[in-house]
Amino acid sequence: MTNKNPKSKILNLLLPWLDALAITAWGVLMLRYWQTNKLNLLIHPNFFGLVIVAGIGFIIIGLFKMQELWKRRRRDVTPNMQHISLFPPGWGSAFLLITVILGFIITPQVFASDKALQGGVTTDLLGSTRVKPQAFRVTVRPEERSLVDWVRTLNVYPEPDAYTGQKVKVQGFVIHPPDIGKEYLFLARFVLTCCAADAYPVGLPVKLQNNQERYPADTWLEVEGQMVTESLGDKRKLTIAATSLKKIPQPENPYSY
Protein backbone atom coordinates (compact mmCIF):
# COMPACT_ATOMS: atom_id res chain seq x y z
CA MET A 1 0.00 0.00 0.00
CA THR A 2 1.31 3.43 -0.93
CA ASN A 3 1.86 5.80 1.98
CA LYS A 4 -0.17 8.95 1.18
CA ASN A 5 0.65 10.73 4.41
CA PRO A 6 2.70 13.82 3.34
CA LYS A 7 4.23 14.22 6.81
CA SER A 8 5.51 10.66 6.73
CA LYS A 9 6.97 11.19 3.26
CA ILE A 10 8.78 14.36 4.36
CA LEU A 11 10.09 12.59 7.44
CA ASN A 12 11.46 9.75 5.33
CA LEU A 13 13.26 12.29 3.18
CA LEU A 14 14.73 14.28 6.07
CA LEU A 15 15.91 11.53 8.43
CA PRO A 16 18.83 10.35 6.26
CA TRP A 17 20.04 13.96 5.97
CA LEU A 18 19.82 14.24 9.76
CA ASP A 19 22.05 11.17 10.07
CA ALA A 20 24.66 12.56 7.69
CA LEU A 21 24.58 16.02 9.26
CA ALA A 22 25.01 14.63 12.79
CA ILE A 23 28.06 12.51 11.98
CA THR A 24 29.68 15.34 9.97
CA ALA A 25 29.11 17.80 12.81
CA TRP A 26 30.72 15.41 15.31
CA GLY A 27 33.81 15.23 13.11
CA VAL A 28 33.99 19.02 12.88
CA LEU A 29 33.57 19.36 16.67
CA MET A 30 36.44 16.93 17.35
CA LEU A 31 38.80 18.84 15.07
CA ARG A 32 37.65 22.19 16.47
CA TYR A 33 38.42 21.08 20.04
CA TRP A 34 41.87 20.00 18.87
CA GLN A 35 42.62 23.25 17.01
CA THR A 36 41.44 25.46 19.92
CA ASN A 37 43.38 23.44 22.56
CA LYS A 38 40.15 22.47 24.32
CA LEU A 39 41.01 18.83 23.82
CA ASN A 40 43.59 19.29 26.62
CA LEU A 41 40.69 19.68 29.04
CA LEU A 42 39.03 16.43 28.01
CA ILE A 43 41.59 13.71 27.30
CA HIS A 44 45.25 12.79 27.70
CA PRO A 45 47.52 13.99 24.83
CA ASN A 46 48.34 10.35 24.04
CA PHE A 47 44.85 10.04 22.54
CA PHE A 48 44.90 13.21 20.43
CA GLY A 49 45.90 11.29 17.31
CA LEU A 50 42.95 8.91 17.69
CA VAL A 51 40.51 11.81 18.05
CA ILE A 52 41.95 13.60 15.00
CA VAL A 53 41.72 10.48 12.83
CA ALA A 54 38.17 9.79 14.05
CA GLY A 55 37.13 13.39 13.38
CA ILE A 56 38.47 13.30 9.82
CA GLY A 57 36.82 9.91 9.29
CA PHE A 58 33.44 11.19 10.50
CA ILE A 59 33.62 14.16 8.15
CA ILE A 60 34.50 11.96 5.16
CA ILE A 61 31.67 9.52 5.93
CA GLY A 62 29.18 12.34 6.48
CA LEU A 63 30.08 14.14 3.27
CA PHE A 64 29.99 10.89 1.30
CA LYS A 65 26.48 10.17 2.58
CA MET A 66 25.35 13.71 1.79
CA GLN A 67 26.64 13.30 -1.76
CA GLU A 68 24.82 10.00 -2.08
CA LEU A 69 21.59 11.53 -0.76
CA TRP A 70 21.86 14.45 -3.17
CA LYS A 71 22.25 12.10 -6.12
CA ARG A 72 19.19 10.13 -4.99
CA ARG A 73 17.20 13.35 -4.56
CA ARG A 74 17.99 14.47 -8.09
CA ARG A 75 16.66 11.13 -9.34
CA ASP A 76 13.53 11.66 -7.19
CA VAL A 77 14.20 8.40 -5.43
CA THR A 78 13.04 8.14 -1.83
CA PRO A 79 16.05 6.96 0.22
CA ASN A 80 15.98 3.44 1.53
CA MET A 81 16.20 4.03 5.25
CA GLN A 82 17.33 0.51 5.96
CA HIS A 83 20.49 0.85 3.93
CA ILE A 84 21.75 4.40 4.35
CA SER A 85 20.83 5.39 7.92
CA LEU A 86 23.98 5.63 10.02
CA PHE A 87 22.11 5.84 13.33
CA PRO A 88 18.71 4.60 14.49
CA PRO A 89 16.27 6.89 12.63
CA GLY A 90 14.45 9.67 14.39
CA TRP A 91 15.30 10.32 18.02
CA GLY A 92 18.79 8.82 17.90
CA SER A 93 20.03 11.16 15.18
CA ALA A 94 18.27 14.15 16.71
CA PHE A 95 19.88 13.45 20.08
CA LEU A 96 23.35 13.22 18.50
CA LEU A 97 22.82 16.46 16.62
CA ILE A 98 21.55 18.31 19.73
CA THR A 99 24.55 17.03 21.70
CA VAL A 100 27.06 18.26 19.13
CA ILE A 101 25.34 21.67 18.97
CA LEU A 102 25.73 21.97 22.74
CA GLY A 103 29.37 21.03 22.29
CA PHE A 104 29.85 24.05 20.02
CA ILE A 105 28.04 26.36 22.43
CA ILE A 106 29.34 25.19 25.81
CA THR A 107 33.05 25.55 26.58
CA PRO A 108 34.62 22.68 28.60
CA GLN A 109 35.42 23.83 32.13
CA VAL A 110 38.57 23.07 34.11
CA PHE A 111 38.11 21.04 37.29
CA ALA A 112 38.56 23.13 40.42
CA SER A 113 38.52 22.85 44.21
CA ASP A 114 34.83 21.94 44.42
CA LYS A 115 35.54 18.83 42.34
CA ALA A 116 38.36 17.89 44.71
CA LEU A 117 36.31 18.42 47.87
CA GLN A 118 32.87 17.20 46.86
CA GLY A 119 33.76 13.61 47.73
CA GLY A 120 35.10 14.54 51.16
CA VAL A 121 38.72 14.66 50.02
CA THR A 122 41.25 15.25 52.81
CA THR A 123 44.97 16.01 52.83
CA ASP A 124 45.71 12.28 52.98
CA LEU A 125 43.91 11.67 49.69
CA LEU A 126 45.31 14.80 48.06
CA GLY A 127 48.80 13.40 48.54
CA SER A 128 47.60 10.42 46.55
CA THR A 129 49.69 7.32 45.96
CA ARG A 130 47.87 6.98 42.62
CA VAL A 131 50.59 9.22 41.17
CA LYS A 132 53.33 6.91 39.94
CA PRO A 133 56.85 8.05 39.03
CA GLN A 134 57.33 8.19 35.28
CA ALA A 135 61.04 8.92 35.28
CA PHE A 136 62.52 9.29 38.74
CA ARG A 137 65.51 11.61 38.32
CA VAL A 138 67.54 12.25 41.44
CA THR A 139 69.71 14.75 39.55
CA VAL A 140 66.87 17.27 39.21
CA ARG A 141 67.35 20.20 41.56
CA PRO A 142 64.55 20.48 44.15
CA GLU A 143 63.51 23.97 42.99
CA GLU A 144 63.06 22.63 39.45
CA ARG A 145 60.51 20.00 40.46
CA SER A 146 56.88 20.63 39.63
CA LEU A 147 54.16 20.09 42.20
CA VAL A 148 53.37 16.66 40.75
CA ASP A 149 57.10 15.81 40.68
CA TRP A 150 57.22 16.43 44.44
CA VAL A 151 54.25 14.14 45.02
CA ARG A 152 55.83 11.44 42.86
CA THR A 153 59.09 11.81 44.78
CA LEU A 154 57.25 11.44 48.09
CA ASN A 155 55.54 8.30 46.87
CA VAL A 156 58.96 6.76 46.22
CA TYR A 157 60.49 7.90 49.53
CA PRO A 158 57.79 9.21 51.90
CA GLU A 159 59.96 10.34 54.86
CA PRO A 160 59.28 14.13 55.04
CA ASP A 161 62.41 14.93 57.09
CA ALA A 162 64.55 13.82 54.12
CA TYR A 163 63.51 16.97 52.26
CA THR A 164 63.71 19.52 55.10
CA GLY A 165 65.37 22.75 53.99
CA GLN A 166 65.17 22.00 50.27
CA LYS A 167 64.08 24.92 48.09
CA VAL A 168 60.80 24.69 46.23
CA LYS A 169 59.08 26.69 43.49
CA VAL A 170 55.78 25.25 42.28
CA GLN A 171 52.50 26.29 40.69
CA GLY A 172 48.97 25.14 41.40
CA PHE A 173 45.51 26.22 42.52
CA VAL A 174 44.30 26.74 46.07
CA ILE A 175 42.17 24.24 47.97
CA HIS A 176 40.98 24.65 51.56
CA PRO A 177 40.48 21.11 52.91
CA PRO A 178 38.39 20.90 56.08
CA ASP A 179 41.09 19.08 58.06
CA ILE A 180 43.82 21.76 58.09
CA GLY A 181 44.05 25.00 60.06
CA LYS A 182 43.67 28.57 58.82
CA GLU A 183 47.43 29.05 58.78
CA TYR A 184 47.64 26.56 55.90
CA LEU A 185 46.31 26.20 52.39
CA PHE A 186 46.66 23.32 49.97
CA LEU A 187 48.29 23.81 46.57
CA ALA A 188 47.02 21.26 44.06
CA ARG A 189 46.98 20.14 40.44
CA PHE A 190 44.67 17.67 38.72
CA VAL A 191 46.38 14.66 37.15
CA LEU A 192 44.88 13.26 33.95
CA THR A 193 45.65 9.62 33.16
CA CYS A 194 43.13 8.96 30.38
CA CYS A 195 40.30 11.48 30.24
CA ALA A 196 38.61 14.11 32.38
CA ALA A 197 36.40 11.45 33.96
CA ASP A 198 39.38 9.93 35.81
CA ALA A 199 41.15 13.19 36.78
CA TYR A 200 42.16 13.38 40.44
CA PRO A 201 43.86 16.09 42.53
CA VAL A 202 47.28 15.88 44.18
CA GLY A 203 49.38 18.46 45.93
CA LEU A 204 51.09 19.67 49.07
CA PRO A 205 50.12 21.80 52.07
CA VAL A 206 51.53 25.33 52.25
CA LYS A 207 52.25 27.04 55.57
CA LEU A 208 51.51 30.76 55.52
CA GLN A 209 53.45 33.38 57.41
CA ASN A 210 51.60 35.79 59.71
CA ASN A 211 51.68 38.64 57.21
CA GLN A 212 50.76 36.59 54.13
CA GLU A 213 47.42 36.98 52.40
CA ARG A 214 44.78 34.28 52.60
CA TYR A 215 43.81 33.34 49.05
CA PRO A 216 40.35 32.09 48.08
CA ALA A 217 39.83 28.62 46.62
CA ASP A 218 40.76 28.11 42.95
CA THR A 219 43.27 30.98 42.92
CA TRP A 220 46.32 30.00 40.87
CA LEU A 221 49.58 30.68 42.70
CA GLU A 222 53.30 30.37 42.19
CA VAL A 223 54.71 29.48 45.59
CA GLU A 224 58.35 29.75 46.61
CA GLY A 225 59.84 28.64 49.89
CA GLN A 226 61.48 25.66 51.50
CA MET A 227 60.35 22.27 52.69
CA VAL A 228 59.55 21.63 56.36
CA THR A 229 57.80 18.89 58.29
CA GLU A 230 54.50 19.82 59.93
CA SER A 231 51.97 17.84 61.97
CA LEU A 232 48.63 17.95 60.18
CA GLY A 233 45.78 15.81 61.40
CA ASP A 234 48.14 13.97 63.80
CA LYS A 235 50.36 12.99 60.88
CA ARG A 236 53.74 14.29 59.82
CA LYS A 237 53.44 15.96 56.42
CA LEU A 238 55.94 17.46 54.04
CA THR A 239 54.90 21.11 53.87
CA ILE A 240 56.00 24.16 51.91
CA ALA A 241 56.97 27.02 54.23
CA ALA A 242 56.10 29.84 51.84
CA THR A 243 58.34 32.87 51.56
CA SER A 244 56.58 34.16 48.43
CA LEU A 245 53.09 33.68 47.01
CA LYS A 246 52.32 35.23 43.64
CA LYS A 247 49.02 35.13 41.77
CA ILE A 248 49.34 33.77 38.25
CA PRO A 249 46.80 33.24 35.45
CA GLN A 250 45.40 29.76 34.95
CA PRO A 251 47.75 27.87 32.58
CA GLU A 252 46.53 27.10 29.08
CA ASN A 253 46.85 23.45 30.01
CA PRO A 254 46.03 23.24 33.74
CA TYR A 255 46.33 19.45 34.02
CA SER A 256 49.39 17.33 34.71
CA TYR A 257 50.12 13.89 33.28
Per-residue pLDDT tens over the stretch 43-77 = 888 889 999 999 999 999 888 888 887 777 666 55
Per-residue pLDDT tens over the stretch 100-115 = 888 888 888 777 777 7
Residue 231 has pLDDT above 80, yes or no: yes
Higher per-residue pLDDT: 226 or 17: 226
Residue 226 has pLDDT above 50, yes or no: yes
Residue 147 has pLDDT above 50, yes or no: yes
Give pLDDT, residue 21.
87
Give pLDDT, residue 115.
74
d(C-alpha 236, C-alpha 133), whole Å: 22
Residue 87 has pLDDT above 80, yes or no: no
Average pLDDT, the chain: 80
User: Quick one: 168 exposed, middle or buried, by C-beta within 10 A (0-12, 13-18, 19+)?
Assistant: buried
Candidates 196, 147, 141, 149; CA nearest to 174 is 147
Give pLDDT, residue 74.
61
Mean pLDDT, to the nearest integer, of 188-197?
85
Per-residue pLDDT tens over the stretch 25-49 = 999 999 999 988 888 888 888 889 9
Give pLDDT, residue 70.
79
- Quickly list DSSP for 26-39: HHHHHHHHHHTTGG
Q: Is the dihedral of CA 84, 88, 92, 96 positive or negative?
A: negative
Residue 203 has pLDDT above 80, yes or no: yes
Per-residue pLDDT tens over the stretch 242-253 = 999 999 999 888
Residue 85 has pLDDT above 50, yes or no: no
Domain architecture of the chain: domains with CATH: 6-105 (no CATH), 113-247 (2.40.50)
Task: Measure the CA dihedral 82/88/89/92, to 10°.
Answer: -170
Give pLDDT, residue 14.
67
Q: Which of 79-83, 126-130, 156-160 has the least mean pLDDT?
A: 79-83
